[in-house]
Each structure stands twice: as structure tokens, then as C-alpha cells.
Structure 1
Amino acid sequence: MLRQALALERQTGNDRCTAETLQLLGETERGRGNYHPAERLLDESLVIYRQLEDRPGVCAVLSVKAGVRRYQGDYEGATALFGEALALGRASGDVRRVADVLARLGNLASEQGSPSQSLPLYEEALALHYQLGDTSGIADVLSRSGEAATQMGDYAGAVVFCEQSLELYRSLGTNYGVAYVLLNQGEAASGMGDLEGGKALTAQSLALFQEIGDRRCIAFALEQLAGVAREQHDYRQALALYEESLELHCGLNTRPGIARCLEGMARLACAQGLGERAGRLHGAATALHEAMKSAMAPAARVRYGQEMTAVRGQMENEAFTAAAAEGRTMSLEQVMDYAHDELSAGRAGA
């Protein structure tokens, strides 16, 4: 339907509608994980909006383009695009757009492993949403703040943010928001040692994301459930969940998600005493983070480091270092093949 509408709008010379449809098509391709076609459509939309001097349209497309870059792990590109959108929003006095972009910039900081840098951005965004009386925006920023608190290990603070956000999302009937908060609550509960509670909350989140059809968030929920299974020493279940999550992330080419799965699998290998496997997966995940200029969240980083140190101590240091070096040199395709082979081998031996 959108393609047909676009053809008609081009024929009639309706530039504004053409730009809007191109933007919608770009967002659709982004959701499917087709990032290059998405960028081409968005670039064409952006050119038209600029010609029309439509600042809100330009800001909207810049934000969507930034999301495309973010999903691919191009955090520098995403930051630059969000920065341009923020400057335009401030210049035009578009308070809602400014608040939205501030929240997204905060999310970028968290994803890059610096959640503390997201807090002032969230605070400014939250104040603007309160000024606007935007309940949905308030719920969104509270949810993101809860996620940042979890990443810093402030689980009690995360619970407070999440409870406030969940109440608002439920009052609005926004299932996506509810699902995302439940995911954050599940991670916080697991972080506090309540693995069964974390598992139940994450399972609720997964069911909602499956109902919505958001494959990226389904993948994150599966990866989180895999982590719970790993902590409960249910290695067979953890392997199955990691494989399902990794397959989704690979299909969508979401590199941040791939890195998280590889880290989780490295931790699983540590728990099983498989030092060489852990080293290779660790090296591959490290290389991805370096390419994205990102890092693990602080709370996870501490425990991950302890586990890598422990498994290194169980084997020859040189052997672990060599395995990690090998993992770092693998192409993304080689990493995926290796992960699949190792998951199959682990499933057979679990």
C-alpha cells in the first residue's frame, strides 16, 4: 500500500506527502532489519523536507536515521544525527522534539556503557515532558532511567523508576511500554538475586513483545532469560535461549545485541569450565565493542571481568590469550558460524 501511495504522490507532485511516505517506508525497512534500504528511503525523504524547509520533518527523519545507525552499532553516526535534530528542535522551539531527542541521546550513552552520562539528559527530558503534560513521554523517560539505574547496579532505584513508569503505561494501555518496563524490572530483580522473580517478569515481557511482533526486543528478552537460566545452572536451557536470541539479532544485524549474546555465551562457557571457548567468544565480543566504541554496562562489566579472570586462572594464561586473540580476528560471519557450532556442541554435551 505504501509503495502504491508513493507512486501516486510522485505522479501528482505532492512533495510533502511523498516525503512522509518515504519516511514511513524507511521506518518499515528499519523494523525489518533492512538498514541500507531504510537509509536510502530516509535520505530521499530528508532531501525533500529540507527543500520544503520543514524543520519538524527534518528532525523526525534525522531521529529515525539515528535509530538505524544505533541498531547497527554506529554510535558516533547516531550521536551526530541526534545532535543535529536536537539543535534544530531547540532553534525552532519544538519542546516535544527536544525532549524526545534528549531521551534518545541518554539511551545511546547507556548502550555505550556510560549510563551515568545519561542521567542529566533524562532529567532534562523528564522536566520538559512534565512541562508539556505528556504522560507517555514521562513514562518513557522513567523507564529509561530505570534501565540506566539497573546498568549502574542501583537496583532499588531502578525498581522505583520502573514502578512509576509501569503505572503510567498501564493507565495509557500502551503494551509496548509495559513490555519494556517488565523487561527492565526482570533484569533488576535478577540483579538483586531474585532469579525466579526476574524470570517471571522477563517471561511476561517476552509474551507481550511476541504479541506485538518486535523481533529486536524479543531477542533481548530471550537473551535475558538465557542469563537467568545460566545463573540457575540450567545450561541446556541457556544454550537454547542464546541460540534463539542470536539468530534473531543476526537476522536483524543488530550488532549491540550480537555483542551481548556473545558475552553471555562467554559467561556460560566460563560456568562450564570451557576456557578456550570462553576466550574466543570474549575476544569476538571485545572486537565488536571496539568497533562500535562501546562497552558493557558497569554492573555487568565487574562480574564479567571476575569470571574471565577466574577461567583464565584455570588454564594456561597464554592459551586463554591466544583464544581471545583468535576471536578478535574473526569476521562477523566467522563469529556467527563459530557460535552456532559451539552452541550445537554444547547442546549435545549439556
Structure 2
Amino acid sequence: MAGLLAAGPAAPADTAQVRALLHQAQGLLRAGRNEAAHPLLVQAHALAHGLHFAPGEIESLRVLGKAELVHGSFAEARAYLNQGVDLARRTPGQGHALANVLLTLGQVANEQDDYPGALRACEEALRLYHAHGALRDEARTRNGLGIIYSSRGDFPRALAMLLPALRQSQQLQDSALQANCLSNLGAVYFRHNEFRKAQQYFEQALPLVRRSPETSTLADCLTNVAASHQQLGELTEAETFYKEAIAVSEQAGERAQLGVVLSDYAQLQTEQKRLPAAQATLERARALLENSGDTGTLAATLVALGQLHQKLGHPAEAEAQARRALALATSIRDWSVLETAGQLLAGLLKQRGDYRQALTFAEQAYAAHDTLFTQSKAEEMGRLQGDFQLSQERARAQALARTGEAQQQRLQAQQRQLWGLGLGFAVVAAAGLALWRLNRLLGHKNQQIERQSAELTKLNATKDRLFSIIGHDLRGPLHSLHAFVELLDGPPLPPARLSQYTQRLTRTLDHTLALLENLLNWAALQMRASAPPRPENLALAGLVEENIGLLTAAADAAQVALTHHLTGDERAWADPAAVRLVLRNLLANAIKFTPAGGTVSISATQEAGCWQLAVADNGRGLPTPTPHQPLRPDALERRAGEAGQARSTGLGLLLSRDMATRTGGQLWVASAGPGQGTTFTLRLPVAEQPAAYARLDG
């Protein structure tokens, strides 16, 4: 970047103006004056574009993206940076500038929790820096990749990036980058609960940071050292470093930084049973964080303050702080604070006798816990898939190396045996044939590896769905049952409230039983994926009447009418078990999303050698008008049913789609939009007449 902004000896005046605008804007950004920097950057971009000055335009787009990132406007940041990437790719000789833009794009993607996007951008930037011999930028990028891997819990890859970055920073004698790498290594070990190693890296970074003019960096490092001492039970040493971090932040006037340090220090005071002092520290931290924009730390501080008030016997104040923390955590989807605040409110309201609200907050806490569980499992599966792909790449490289070495040895042996030109030509021809055969063999092996990788990706997607269903949709109702039983263990409930809770619990368990049945059917379908279906000449009217009989009670309870218009002549060539399961799911789904007084009807028409078995309702309809098209369950929004029925998991439609496909049919969907109802159509091949089958059987 410095090379880009350095003025050339013969730079035209207008090009120099672009550079000057960029230099001035970056100075304002470093001083935290984003509002003043933005118009200068826009002016620099417009001027560079008009002059066709690609380096200046690329850099102005990069800095605009960086400014939007600092401001928290991620969509605008990505728009600027994507323009910069496109321009840099089109402009020859801009590899280093492209790497700069990609690195900033990776930072934006990481802030948006776009883990794959962040890795793609930063890894390409790393390759470009390495190719251009930009050692400092390469070390900086490795450091950034280490942070990304660490934030996702991928500790081996984080260390694999940060340790080389540390060695490069030492080679460059860049104390600021070296301190940053040491701090990040300490953070990796801290997250991995190896607090002694974390402390060693933090304390190595501290002398380097003390020489830096950046007071916020020093406060961070002191806080890290204090936290590692605290985790090791060395509370006196921890307090010493916390107090120094507070003094540094106060001296620098860093209100937000001071709020973060005070919030951490209050945890130590609470651990030391100094509750009044911890309350005063948290109150001060809350006041400093109110207008800092750090909503996550403010929410965590509020819930910690609520827990402290509960310990001090101030339930009203504890509830007020917990409710505010819950609202803030909901706005930023901070599941950890949502879980803690929900648990705190459930306990406080249960003590107060408000069991209905207690149950609501307990369910919110359980839902947040399940979301955290699902996210951790998804990240774990992603790491496993990455490990598998990495091992496959290594195995492929090793195989190619072994093959190359063996081929080289054979060629050398053949060359030693050459005694004439004719024999030499023969050897060359044989070697060419061997290479051709080897290339074919390697091609087949590569195809096999790609097929295995695709199968693993599909298997991981299946496992992710199972984790999501089991970890959230199946465990959630059981948590509700647990919370309901806890309420029964308290003072006797009024009969009206007991009846209300019982009805709610009955609906929840009905939904759970249906989900469990679909889950077992789907698992069985996956295990029998290679077994052929068992189609037969099937009377559709009989199956329709059978399923209507099974679901009449549910329809009556929902005040929904079930009708069909089949004549009895409709015969399809399909697997009866598959059609029965698809019909049952479609009817149950229609009843669930049709309000009281509505109608669900089944009809059949013949078209192009197929029966079109349609299940239509006049209920809620889909959120957007949807023309008649093949069903894609993952594209449909998961919604709660009528009359407080549980939110759909999408598993029933996925199972129905798979079952329909296995029996030779298709599942289609159509809706005119909200309030206009939905129609699901099962297409099945027409069967021959029963008499024809009787002759064949005979």
C-alpha cells in the first residue's frame, strides 16, 4: 500500500491529487473521523475513475470498503470491495493491489460470519503476496487467517498460520506485527483452555506492546495477561494487571475500552466475593458502554449485573437488567447472552409466582442453547470436511510424487541400457505409452476422489440436517415438558391455567411424535437408498380414503373439512407404502396451515401418462405467489401452524419429496400467495388395467 501511495518522480498533477486525497482520508480514518474521511474518498474515487487511473481507483475502493467496515455497514463495504477486486483483476500488473483488496474483503466476510468467503479471499491474498515476495504483507495475512481459524475453533489451522507469521515478523524485526502475532497465539491457547501457554505468549507480547504508542493495544494486552492469571487462580497478579489496564484506558480517555476492561475486572471481583465492589464496577462499565456501539459487551455486562443483583437480593433490579440484556442480545442474535438472560428471567419469575412468563423465558433459553449446540456441530462438521479434503489433497500429491519418482527411476535405468539409436527410439516410445497409461490411471483416480468428496459433502449435509432436527426441533419440546414439570413441582396452579398449559403441552407432544415418525422414516429411507422400490397396481381412491380416516380427528379438532373427488378408477404404478406416507404428510401439512372453517380437498386428473393427485387447501398460502413448479423443501419458509401449532421443521416435505422420487413420481407445489391457499401435486405413472395384470400374473 505504501508503494502505491508513494509519489512517482514524474506523476501528473491530477494523479498526485488522487494520492493526496487518499493520504488525507486515511489519516482521518486513523484518527477515528470516518464522517470527515468519506467525502474525500468518494472524491478520490471519482477523480481516479475519470482519469482512468486504475491504481488510485482500486485503492480508493479498498479504503472506502475499510471505512464502511469500521462503520459496521457490511453490505456497502462488500459492494466497494467487490468493485475493487473486479477492477484489479481486469488491470494488468495490479496483483499486489488485488491482494490488498482481497485481504480487506476477507476481514468483512469474517465480521459477517461468512467463514468460507473469508478464507477464500485471504488465502488468495496470501498466494499473491507470496508470489510478489511481499514478506511483510504475507506475514500480516497469515496473522489474519490465524484469527479467522481461531474464531471458528479450528485450533490446528490457526497455529499453522500464526507460528510462521510470528517467525516472519521476527525476521522483519517488526515489533508491532510480532506483538500482534504473540497476542493472537495467546488467544488461541486461551480459547483452547491452555491458560499457562496463553499466559506465556501474552507476557512475551507485553514488552513489545509497551513500546507502541497505541494505548488501546496496551490495555488489551494487559487485560489478556490479567485474564490468564485469573483462569490459573492467581488472583492477586490478575488484579494488578487489571488495575494497570484501567489506568491506561483512563489516561487515554478511551471510554469504550475502559468499559470492556471494567466489565472483565468485575468478574474477578465477583469471584473474590466482593459483591458490592463488583456492582459498582459493573455500573460504571454499563455507563461507559451505553453509547459506545459495542452492543455485545453491553448486553453481557447487563446480564452480569442482573446476576449480581440476584445474589444481593434485589430481584426487581435483576429482572430489569436481564430484560434489557435479552432485548439487546435478540437484536444482535447473541445466543450466549440470550441463553443466560433467559435462564435468569425464568428463575426470577418462578420465584415471583409468574409461571407462565417463567415457562416462556425458559423455552427461549433452551432454544438459544440448542442454537449454540447446532452451530458448534455445524462448525465441527465443516472442520472434519476440511480435514478430509486436506488429507485427500496430500494423498494425491504424495501419490503423484511417488509415481513421478518411480517413472524417473525407470527412465534412468532404461537410459543406462541404451546401446543404439534404434533402441533409444523404442525406449522413448515405451516411455510415452507408459506416461499415457499413467495419465489415464491418474485421471481415473482423480475422478474417484472427486466422487468420494461429493459423497462426503452429501453425507455431511445429511448429518447437519440430523443435528439440526435432533438438537433443536426434537429437543425443544422435551425441554418444554421439563419446564412444565418444574412448574408442577411448585405451588398448585389454578385450574384454568393448568388446563391452558396441558393443551399447549399436548399440541407440542403431538408435533414431536409426528416429527419423530418422519425422522425414523427418513432415516430408514437413507439406509435403504440402494434397495429398489416395490411398485404395484395401486388404487388411489382406497389410499386417499384410508388417510382421510386417519386424519379426520385432527381435522375435526382444527375445524377443517376433509373431502375428496376420486371416482375409484384412478390406478397408479407406485409403491403403496411410499404413496401412503406422502399423502399423510401432505394432508397433515394442509390441516396445520388451514384456519378454522377452512377446507382441504383431494382430486385426481390424468395428464401425459401420469395421475396428478392434488391436495389443495384454502388456508394461509405461501408468503409469495408461486407458480406450479417442482417442490424444493429447502426453499420454503419454516412457519408456525394455525392456533399456536409448532413451527414446521421441513422434514415432512423433504421425506415426501424423496419418497415420491423413489417410487417413480414427482412432487409439485403452487400457491397464489398469502391467504390464497396452497396446492401440492403428486405425479404418479398410470398403471395398466387390472385385467391386463391378471393375464400377466397367470
| TM-score w.r.t. length of structure 1 | 0.67
In the alignment, what sits opposite 1:300?
none
- How has the CA–CA distance of structure 1 residues 120 and 244 changed in structure 2, closer, same or farther, with 3 Å as cutoff? farther
Q: Which amino acid aligns with 1:39?
A: H
What are the within-5 Å matches in structure 2 for residues 42-191 of structure 1? 42-93=41-92, 94-112=94-112, 115=115, 118-191=118-191
Q: Which amino acid aligns with 1:323?
A: Q
Residue 323, structure 1, aligned to residue 321, structure 2? yes
Q: How far does residue 184 in structure 1 lie from its aligned partner after superposition?
A: 0.8
Distance 2:195 2:58 in 1: 42
Deviations 1:25-55 (A, max 9, x none): 2222222333333334433333322332222
Distance 2:75 2:248 in 1: 26
Q: How far does residue 75 in structure 1 lie from its aligned partner after superposition?
A: 3.8
- How has the CA–CA distance of structure 1 residues 145 and 278 changed in structure 2, closer, same or farther, with 3 Å as cutoff? farther
Q: What is the number of residues matched between the two proteins?
A: 308
In the alignment, what sits opposite 2:13?
14
Distance 2:248 2:149 in 1: 24
Deviations 1:166-187 (A, max 9, x none): 2222223333322221111121
Q: Kindly indicate whether the alpha-carbon contact (under 8 Å) linking 1:139 and 1:169 is maintained by their aligned counterparts in 2.
A: yes
Distance 2:239 2:219 in 1: 18
Distance 1:230 1:281 in 2: 21
In the alignment, what sits opposite 1:29?
28
Q: How far does residue 20 in structure 1 lie from its aligned partner after superposition?
A: 1.2
Deviations 1:147-196 (A, max 9, x none): 22222233343222211112222223333322221111121233344445
Q: Which amino acid aligns with 1:22?
A: L
What secondary structure, in the 3-state scheme, does the structure 2 residue paired with 1:153 have? coil
Q: Which amino acid aligns with 1:47?
A: A
Distance 2:52 2:121 in 1: 28
Q: Which amino acid aligns with 1:243?
A: I
In the alignment, what sits opposite 1:237?
240
- How has the CA–CA distance of structure 1 residues 42 and 209 changed in structure 2, closer, same or farther, with 3 Å as cutoff? farther
Distance 2:59 2:83 in 1: 11
Distance 1:82 1:37 in 2: 20
Q: Kindly indicate whether the alpha-carbon contact (under 8 Å) linking 1:89 and 1:97 is maintained by their aligned counterparts in 2.
A: yes
Deviations 1:193-244 (A, max 9, x none): 4445433422443433443433453343234234334434345335424525
Q: Kindly indicate whether the alpha-carbon contact (under 8 Å) linking 1:210 and 1:218 is maintained by their aligned counterparts in 2.
A: yes
What are the within-5 Å matches in structure 2 for residues 160-309 of structure 1? 160-231=160-231, 232-234=234-236, 236-237=239-240, 239-244=242-247, 246-247=249-250, 251=254, 261=261, 264=264, 267-268=267-268, 271=271, 274=275
Structure showing the higher helix proportion among its residues: 1
Q: Kindly indicate whether the alpha-carbon contact (under 8 Å) linking 1:106 and 1:121 is maintained by their aligned counterparts in 2.
A: yes
Distance 2:282 2:215 in 1: 29
In the alignment, what sits opposite 1:7?
none
Gaps of 5+ in 2: 1-11, 329-698
What secondary structure, in the 3-state scheme, does the structure 2 residue paired with 1:33 have? coil
In the alignment, what sits opposite 1:343?
none
Gaps of 5+ in 1: 1-12, 297-302, 331-350
Distance 1:28 1:208 in 2: 24
The structure number with the bigger radius of gyration is 2
What secondary structure, in the 3-state scheme, does the structure 2 residue paired with 1:213 have? coil
Q: Kindly indicate whether the alpha-carbon contact (under 8 Å) linking 2:260 and 2:285 is maintained by their aligned counterparts in 1.
A: no
* Structure with more contact order per residue of length (Cα contacts < 8 Å, sep ≥ 6): 1
Deviations 1:88-114 (A, max 9, x none): 223335332222222222223334556
Distance 2:27 2:307 in 1: 45
Distance 1:175 1:62 in 2: 29
Q: Kindly indicate whether the alpha-carbon contact (under 8 Å) linking 2:28 and 2:37 is maintained by their aligned counterparts in 1.
A: yes
Q: Which amino acid aligns with 1:170?
A: Q
Q: Which amino acid aligns with 2:183?
A: L
- How has the CA–CA distance of structure 1 residues 215 and 62 changed in structure 2, closer, same or farther, with 3 Å as cutoff? farther
Deviations 1:223-277 (A, max 9, x none): 42343344343453354245256558864x8x7x678657635644654565867
Distance 2:271 2:77 in 1: 36
Q: Kindly indicate whether the alpha-carbon contact (under 8 Å) linking 1:98 and 1:125 is maintained by their aligned counterparts in 2.
A: yes
- How has the CA–CA distance of structure 1 residues 281 and 160 changed in structure 2, closer, same or farther, with 3 Å as cutoff? farther
Q: Kindly indicate whether the alpha-carbon contact (under 8 Å) linking 1:242 and 1:265 is maintained by their aligned counterparts in 2.
A: no
- How has the CA–CA distance of structure 1 residues 74 and 318 changed in structure 2, closer, same or farther, with 3 Å as cutoff? farther
- How has the CA–CA distance of structure 1 residues 37 and 295 changed in structure 2, closer, same or farther, with 3 Å as cutoff? same
Structure 1 stretch 271-280 or stretch 187-196: which is displaced more? Answer: 271-280
Q: Kindly indicate whether the alpha-carbon contact (under 8 Å) linking 2:220 and 2:245 is maintained by their aligned counterparts in 1.
A: no
Structure showing the higher strand proportion among its residues: 2
| TM-score w.r.t. length of structure 2 | 0.37
- How has the CA–CA distance of structure 1 residues 48 and 79 changed in structure 2, closer, same or farther, with 3 Å as cutoff? same
- How has the CA–CA distance of structure 1 residues 107 and 285 changed in structure 2, closer, same or farther, with 3 Å as cutoff? farther
Q: How far does residue 146 in structure 1 lie from its aligned partner after superposition?
A: 1.5
- How large is the Cα RMSD of the aligned pairs? 4.4
Distance 2:287 2:77 in 1: 23
Deviations 1:63-105 (A, max 9, x none): 2233333334444443333333223223335332222222222
